[in-house]
Structure 1
């Protein structure tokens, strides 16, 4: 490839990044004061930041544009942003805007200050059933919404569930870096997710020979089963010393309810887990079956009422809000296509 061809290709990628953005600036410091690091991903750093005009805190995912020279990485970022723009739910993180510079792309999201579910599990050891029911029902509300839009998260785990604030029990689902759009005509492919939580059908892509089994929403339901096991026991159902051993246990759904962790957990809760951790996705519990399970009936009703109330409050706040000031920052995002390309080549973290 000639130097001219390289420059044309780089210009094309830069144009695609600008098309994703709400604003293109010389330096992010023109708009936000960047603060402490909150976490790291494969190609990104998440930082706390303050909007200079609003004096409001946000979480900012900072992606180095050089990492997007790889077409797969760029497509994954495009998919993540396009999906985030579609979502508005009380239990899913809200996207504020996307800002680009020559060196970085910034995804600006609401700041959730209550910490990860992962850390609360470590602190508590495990959740008593009433708390676990209410927590799990909230997570199901977010997943039901996604699946209703044919979006599959593909990385449901405690680290991707954040509490809204330190004193709150309200949660939101985050991190749509692996999310994809499912359809009967074009099911999902590729190896995505985290080993402890990934579904057996997703593991069929482990050898990267493009002969795996296409999959869909059921892969999230498996992850929900693992998540419920962890919430109730404080332990993972699959405990291989080496990754290969762990993945074999997952592929065969080999796990147990050990008496020490499970003697005080009801048979109904354990039965729901066994219905979710089924190797064959056709036999695995669906979202509808999970929501209708007797163990969750009261918690699901409470969670649904909470969603309705939150949406009503949001609508009221919008109606009563003063007109927003005109933003002088040039917006460059082009008309966004409705179609969202699914990620077809992912890797386990």
Structure 2
């Protein structure tokens, strides 16, 4: 595994260097037929275009995107795109006067966030399990190549059908090599592991006082488990994994019990809809201590078991 990771690291560096040397300049409108905009975020936007074949063109403004960041995302995405549960790439990357762009497989359908039903009801358990197995496979593939996705969330899981028979993991904008050091991040999200929240710059804070954090697959495991909770229930288990969040503290206290209790009164209220088997799974995937956290493949041991109680 270590040797493979090092080989991949060298290959990605080489890909970045070659792409930087060969990246051409052209204007989108002159070479592509723009059909419509199909996505937008902090990174920029995604356009549905045709160039002989339909494709999704990711367009990132130069004003807010460093060339190295663009090259890293493109080359990591290209390197991993052979996996059936990861969005494919066409090997087309270029720059215009104002943007960096690359072309990826067009996935016709919604993202997972769009199909989570409102009113605290997630999607059917059978669909969740189909989705979870595919994303676990994608993450294992990423981790086997010495990389960490770092942005696993429902918005980055694309559905080719509403029953989750085929899903694809997207967006490698935050992906990094395993072992990369993070000195700080800005703000927190519900998917961020407690060790990642510890290096978050909060309101009015100018620096963090903890040592830099090493990027590890356990960050993806945590986010993956939070996604499972979200798509089963339709809501987040907490706002952020910090002592100021009582929902997180309740769960962390339950996790730290020497022997997990599955008596309903001992389980935090938000988690009481889950079976003891599901709680055992969550206890492994969401261990507050990253060194005790299971790998994403642990879910396979639980897919044949019920996750939600019948009477909830």
Q: TM-score, normalised by structure 2?
A: 0.75
Cα separation, partners in 2 of 1:17 and 1:286, compared to 1, 3 Å:
closer
Establish whether residue 59 from structure 1 lines up as the match of residue 53 from structure 2.
no
Establish whether residue 191 from structure 1 lines up as the match of residue 190 from structure 2.
no
Establish whether residue 80 from structure 1 lines up as the match of residue 57 from structure 2.
no
Q: 1:81 and 1:153 mapped to 2: Cα distance?
A: 13
Within 5 Å, which residues of 2 pair with 1:176-255?
A: 176-183=172-179, 186=180, 190-191=184-185, 195-207=189-201, 208-209=207-208, 211-239=211-239, 245-246=244-245, 249=248, 253=252
Q: 1:151 and 1:167 mapped to 2: Cα distance?
A: 29
What's the CA shift for 1:41?
2.3
> Is the partner of 2:63 in helix, strand or coil?
helix
Cα separation, partners in 2 of 1:232 and 1:26, compared to 1, 3 Å:
closer
Q: 1:280 and 1:75 mapped to 2: Cα distance?
A: 33
Establish whether residue 163 from structure 1 lines up as the match of residue 162 from structure 2.
no
> Is the partner of 1:34 in helix, strand or coil?
strand
What's the CA shift for 1:247?
9.8
Q: 2:280 and 2:224 mapped to 1: Cα distance?
A: 14
Q: Is the Cα contact below 8 Å between 1:192 and 1:198 reproduced in 2?
A: no
What's the CA shift for 1:33?
1.2
> Is the partner of 2:190 in helix, strand or coil?
coil
- List runs of 5+ in structure 1 lacking aligned partners: 1-15, 299-349
Q: 1:247 and 1:147 mapped to 2: Cα distance?
A: 32
Cα separation, partners in 2 of 1:246 and 1:79, compared to 1, 3 Å:
farther
Computed over aligned residues only, the root mean square deviation of the Cα atoms, in angstroms, reads 3.3
Cα separation, partners in 2 of 1:20 and 1:297, compared to 1, 3 Å:
farther
Establish whether residue 111 from structure 1 lines up as the match of residue 106 from structure 2.
yes
What's the CA shift for 1:28?
1.4
Q: 1:81 and 1:250 mapped to 2: Cα distance?
A: 38
Q: 2:43 and 2:231 mapped to 1: Cα distance?
A: 29
| Residue of structure 2 equivalent to 1:129 | 125
Cα separation, partners in 2 of 1:20 and 1:296, compared to 1, 3 Å:
farther
What's the CA shift for 1:21?
7.9
Q: Which has the higher contact order (CA 8 A, sep 6+)?
A: 1
What's the CA shift for 1:163?
0.8
Establish whether residue 269 from structure 1 lines up as the match of residue 265 from structure 2.
no
The count of residues paired between Structure 1 and Structure 2 equals: 269
Q: 2:97 and 2:172 mapped to 1: Cα distance?
A: 24
Q: 1:30 and 1:103 mapped to 2: Cα distance?
A: 14
What's the CA shift for 1:297?
5.7
Q: 2:39 and 2:272 mapped to 1: Cα distance?
A: 33
Q: TM-score, normalised by structure 1?
A: 0.67
- List runs of 5+ in structure 2 lacking aligned partners: 1-15, 202-206, 255-266, 306-312
Cα separation, partners in 2 of 1:166 and 1:284, compared to 1, 3 Å:
closer
Establish whether residue 174 from structure 1 lines up as the match of residue 173 from structure 2.
no
Within 5 Å, which residues of 2 pair with 1:11-160?
A: 19-20=19-20, 24-51=24-51, 54=52, 56-68=53-65, 73-87=66-80, 88-96=82-90, 97-122=92-117, 125-160=121-156
> Is the partner of 1:197 in helix, strand or coil?
coil
Cα separation, partners in 2 of 1:194 and 1:83, compared to 1, 3 Å:
farther
| Residue of structure 1 equivalent to 2:262 | none
Q: Is the Cα contact below 8 Å between 1:25 and 1:99 reproduced in 2?
A: yes
Cα separation, partners in 2 of 1:194 and 1:166, compared to 1, 3 Å:
farther
What's the CA shift for 1:180?
0.3
Does 193-202 or 155-164 show the bigger shift?
A: 193-202
Cα separation, partners in 2 of 1:153 and 1:172, compared to 1, 3 Å:
same
Q: Deviations over 1:86-116 (max 9, x none)?
A: 1111000011111222222111111111101
Q: Deviations over 1:102-135 (max 9, x none)?
A: 2221111111111010111136931333222111
